[in-house]
Structure 1
Amino acid sequence: MSISPDWVLEALEERRKQALFRHTVIMEGAQVPSIEIDKNAYLAFCSNDYLGLSNHPNMVKAMHESALTYGVGSGASHLVNGHNREHQSLEEELADWLGYDRVMLFSTGYMANLGVIAAFAGKDNAVVQDKLNHASLIDGAQLAGAKMRRYLHSDLMSAQKILSGFTKDQTKSTILATDGIFSMDGDRAPLAGLASLCKQNSALLLVDDAHGLACCGKTGRGSMEIEGVTPDEVPLLVGTFGKAFGTAGAFVACSHDFADYLTQFSRPYIYTTAMSPAIVGATRASLNIIKSDEGLMLRQKLAANIAYFRQAVSALPIELCESETAIQPILVGDSELALSLSESLKTSGIWCTAIRPPTVPKGGARLRITFSAQHSFDQISHLVNSLTLALATRT
């Protein structure tokens, strides 16, 4: 075995000293609220499977049937011969559901954001971003070599000030990129206000609604539905299947012209093997559930779980983020304290991962509690009781 360079070992040791060292854990079985890790049973409150669809029997059956017909691997990129009837059908069904001309599938949400921003941005224009945007949006702008500025979180005045300074002497439109629901705080972006700013400044609004689609809004159309904005106001919508859809992969919804443009210039789309057709088949089944009465009931149950939790913890000495979504973070601040609380919860059979910098800003360590429609009120009560005990042992 080769000996690692000193600078690698020093960097790892520094992460350990800062209580920021990460490692992988192995979970047994399917993604459900009751899980097993290291032969111990836990209730999980950190999954992004917001509707509890990842183990839905309809989707398991659809994946099996799709694999029997189309195989497991797509075998090539979309532009060679990896784009089959399953891919095309899912794109058309998503476009119809969301009200866009076209949808393009990507292998991951990270790649979708890289692919869109790197295609539409460059040295001839700028990318304006919310301070708390997902890392993939930031990385996309850096990959494109674009001028990038970040406005204060959800602050329209800050966004306007930066936008107005970038609209002159550009040969391409400024991109304003934002999460629809912010993954670490759980709050929603002011999409109506941002859409108005983009219209005033001839900018293109890109919304990554990974944590909103399928689980937010009466019909599940996410942040855009809640905020009352249209596809004309959000010309670039990114969504992922790895959260509330319960599968894996991602998509971009846009106009015909923008889809043609991405087909020519989005390198992650052009040079990556297409999604597994078996996963696509399962995702089509997921979309059918999301659009059905069952999907509506799941969203209602998720909303009830969120309200139940917020009421139950209202008397606890914690700082809970202002969030109406499945993401309910408890702000802790210190990374070591966040780790300690997470470990205390494990002793009560609760699995809730501590989130630390650089995923969140320095001093912003937290317990990122997330809910599923599959959680019961009894399970949430156990979480709250466990939190009460963990907090008591810290004082």
Structure 2
Amino acid sequence: MMKGLAEHLSATLEDIRADGLEKHEMAIGSSQSGRVTVGGRQMVNLCANNYLGLADDPEVVAASMAALEKYGSGMASVRFICGTHELHKQLEATVARYLDKDDAILFGSCFDANGGIFETLLGHDDAIVSDTLNHASIIDGVRLSKARRFRFATSDMDDLETQLKIANTQGVRFKLIVTDGVFSMDGYIARLPQICDLAERYGAAVMIDDCHATGHLGEKGRGTPALTGAGNRVDIISGTFGKTLGGAMGGFIAGPQPVVDILRQRARPYLFSNALPPSVTAGAIKAIDIAEKADDRRDTLARHTTRFRTALADAGFDLVPGETPIIPVMLYDAGKAQAMASALQKKGVLVSAFSFPVVPREKARIRTQMSAALTEDDLTFAIDAFIAVGKDFGAI
């Protein structure tokens, strides 16, 4: 019975390959750091979300190992049965304190957090107003809800206001504006103060996905609300422990107490997924403790970001403007992006090409990401490789 379906899938895969859109996985044989081992070769790593270099930090590893030895491999249960550990409650309290929110709730991933929040909070009579370039997890989560859906052009405050006015004319009960804090494929920052101004004017709540900001942007790494001055005007924050805060896995929602409480009762990804392992939880607690005090690492990250962006721009590369550690090198053609990424890998620089459906068609790119784990020598090596390969491919 699978024959017809399998043949159809094989044909689809051939089309993906022909369009230059096939994605390849590279098996790393070392810890995630500024340099990694791939196929026995050491490579400078420019494509990890390891912004502060905590993925292999000795203190984070030690905390994880201690919890593994003391509490075992995992909880073998969902939270509301017998899966809640004291460490889970400690991590939730730590996140809430760190982000200055009433409370926080853990999920298996931020994808799960975003997938579970909208259908839990909002119904037929409500409206979600979402940025067009929001992360796929937000898009999928919004689709799961029964709320009315409105989209505004990325960071376009006039369009956001237009959508809020339309929602008001439809007599919706509650309105929720949702945006990425930092847009992961482009690296630019949401206009949070202006979004909050419009939210207050039109009676809406504000939610952000701050996965690419929490831990390394803003004062003490408290993310885009701290960076932009929006502060507690942002009502709900979703985030992850899989990037800056230890690099393992797990996500969270932080916000008002009633939001967290109703998620514990009704959010399906929370109710029907195993609890985070104690080792991951303990590692995340230690990572937040380090991140909060890590001004030295944030300074290194900012210095690397400025140097790498300036060097590539001066060489003539087409970069998406921005100030975050995400620096996309625009190539537009998917095949060219894949080929150039492969050439860089052969030179010892680990990068990934991004094309449709991860980014819009004709917007293929190599997204580079800085990390405090990189050294100045690593950057010199990577810059030289980019310039050499860029010339070979006519990118500069």
Deviation at 1:146, TM superposition (A): 3.0
Looking at structure 1, the residues matched to 305 and 371 of structure 2 have their Cα atoms a distance apart, in angstroms, of 9
Counterpart of 2:161? 160
Is contact 1:204-1:235 (8 Å) kept? yes
1:359 is the counterpart of 2:372? no
Of residues 31-40 and 77-86 in structure 1, the stretch that sits farther from structure 2 once superposed is 31-40
Looking at structure 2, the residues matched to 362 and 317 of structure 1 have their Cα atoms a distance apart, in angstroms, of 23
Counterpart of 2:40? 39
Counterpart of 2:26? 25
Tell me the SS of whatever aligns to 2:252.
strand
Is contact 1:356-1:366 (8 Å) kept? yes
Counterpart of 2:377? 378
Is contact 1:338-1:354 (8 Å) kept? yes
Is contact 2:208-2:236 (8 Å) kept? yes
Specify the code of the residue in structure 2 equivalent to 1:368: R
Counterpart of 1:389? 388
The runs of at least 4 aligned residues of structure 1 exceeding 3 Å deviation read 1-4, 168-172
Cα–Cα, structure 1 residues 190 and 280, in superposed 2: closer, same or farther, change >3 Å? same
Percent of aligned pairs sharing the same letter: 29
Deviation at 1:377, TM superposition (A): 1.5
Deviation per CA, 1:317-349: give whole Å up to 9, x if none: 211111111101011101011011111212211
Of residues 270-279 and 163-172 in structure 1, the stretch that sits farther from structure 2 once superposed is 163-172
Counterpart of 1:216? 217
Is contact 1:308-1:377 (8 Å) kept? no
Specify the code of the residue in structure 2 equivalent to 1:146: A
Is contact 1:316-1:388 (8 Å) kept? yes
Tell me the SS of whatever aligns to 1:313.
helix
Deviation at 1:171, TM superposition (A): 5.4
Looking at structure 1, the residues matched to 2 and 95 of structure 2 have their Cα atoms a distance apart, in angstroms, of 49
Counterpart of 1:347? 346
Counterpart of 1:197? 198
Deviation at 1:167, TM superposition (A): 2.5
Normalised by the size of structure 1, how large is the TM-score? 0.96
Counterpart of 1:318? 317
Tell me the SS of whatever aligns to 1:79.
helix
Of residues 247-256 and 145-154 in structure 1, the stretch that sits farther from structure 2 once superposed is 145-154
Counterpart of 2:134? 133
Is contact 1:167-1:202 (8 Å) kept? no
Looking at structure 2, the residues matched to 249 and 104 of structure 1 have their Cα atoms a distance apart, in angstroms, of 11
1:150 is the counterpart of 2:151? yes
Of residues 362-371 and 376-385 in structure 1, the stretch that sits farther from structure 2 once superposed is 376-385
Deviation at 1:170, TM superposition (A): 4.7
Looking at structure 2, the residues matched to 281 and 116 of structure 1 have their Cα atoms a distance apart, in angstroms, of 25
Tell me the SS of whatever aligns to 1:375.
coil
Looking at structure 1, the residues matched to 94 and 349 of structure 2 have their Cα atoms a distance apart, in angstroms, of 38
Counterpart of 2:242? 242
Of residues 28-37 and 107-116 in structure 1, the stretch that sits farther from structure 2 once superposed is 28-37
Aligned pair count? 392
Tell me the SS of whatever aligns to 1:332.
strand
Looking at structure 2, the residues matched to 123 and 338 of structure 1 have their Cα atoms a distance apart, in angstroms, of 43
Looking at structure 1, the residues matched to 172 and 151 of structure 2 have their Cα atoms a distance apart, in angstroms, of 21
Deviation at 1:38, TM superposition (A): 2.3
Specify the code of the residue in structure 1 equivalent to 2:335: E
User: 5+ residue gaps in structure 2?
Assistant: none
Deviation per CA, 1:205-255: give whole Å up to 9, x if none: 110000000010131101000111132x21111111111112311111111
Looking at structure 1, the residues matched to 115 and 160 of structure 2 have their Cα atoms a distance apart, in angstroms, of 22
User: 5+ residue gaps in structure 1?
Assistant: none
Normalised by the size of structure 2, how large is the TM-score? 0.96
Tell me the SS of whatever aligns to 1:164.
helix
Deviation per CA, 1:115-166: give whole Å up to 9, x if none: 1122123332222111111000000011113332221111111111011111
Of residues 315-324 and 281-290 in structure 1, the stretch that sits farther from structure 2 once superposed is 315-324
Deviation at 1:169, TM superposition (A): 4.3
Tell me the SS of whatever aligns to 1:369.
strand
Structure 1 vs Structure 2 CA RMSD:
1.5
Counterpart of 1:279? 280
Looking at structure 1, the residues matched to 173 and 27 of structure 2 have their Cα atoms a distance apart, in angstroms, of 46
Looking at structure 2, the residues matched to 155 and 9 of structure 1 have their Cα atoms a distance apart, in angstroms, of 41
Of residues 117-126 and 334-343 in structure 1, the stretch that sits farther from structure 2 once superposed is 117-126
Looking at structure 2, the residues matched to 167 and 87 of structure 1 have their Cα atoms a distance apart, in angstroms, of 40
Looking at structure 2, the residues matched to 5 and 382 of structure 1 have their Cα atoms a distance apart, in angstroms, of 44
Looking at structure 2, the residues matched to 345 and 41 of structure 1 have their Cα atoms a distance apart, in angstroms, of 13
Deviation at 1:23, TM superposition (A): 3.0
Looking at structure 2, the residues matched to 162 and 352 of structure 1 have their Cα atoms a distance apart, in angstroms, of 38
Counterpart of 1:16? 17
